[in-house]
Amino acid sequence: MRASIDFNIDEVAFITIILGMAEFATEVPPFSIPQFLGGVVMCICMGLILYGVTLTQTYIYVLNCKEDPLWLKALVATLWIVETVHTAAILRQMYYSTILAFGSRVALLKVDW
């Protein structure tokens, strides 16, 4: 079964206008780099604190999980790996934003992955 999308003339005109306006949106809106990065860095610091809590809980679980089923041990290990990858990704983004692209407003508006 194929899905089809029916546009009427007004919707097509609206989409054309919006897409046409994208060509003129080359200026970066004004914002304060220290305020922007300050919030990002504070959120990443809070995330690192929570990651430390996760590491502690995982360590305590590994010490006390002798009788748990294998699927539960695998779930805990998977969640720990996913959280570690997430933490590495946000640290890499912070490094890019604060070191590699220092002072660039345009670089702060793009996602680097």
CA distance 76 to 57: 10
For the entire predicted model, the pTM comes to 0.65
Q: Which of 46, 41, 51 is nearest to 82 (CA)?
A: 51
Number of neighbouring beta carbons within 10 Å of residue 62:
13
Q: Which residue has the higher pLDDT, 101 or 43?
A: 43
pLDDT digits (tens, 9 = 90+) for 44-103: 999 999 999 999 999 999 999 999 999 999 999 999 999 999 999 999 988 888 888 787
Q: Which of 105, 112, 110, 91 is nearest to 31 (CA)?
A: 105
Q: Which long-range contacts (CB under 8 A, 24 or more apart) does 49-58 make?
A: 51/83, 51/84, 51/87, 54/80, 54/83, 55/80
Given a contact cutoff of 8 angstroms between Cβ atoms, the answer to whether 76 and 58 are in contact is: yes
- Domain parsing of the chain, residue ranges: 32-108
CA distance 14 to 53: 49
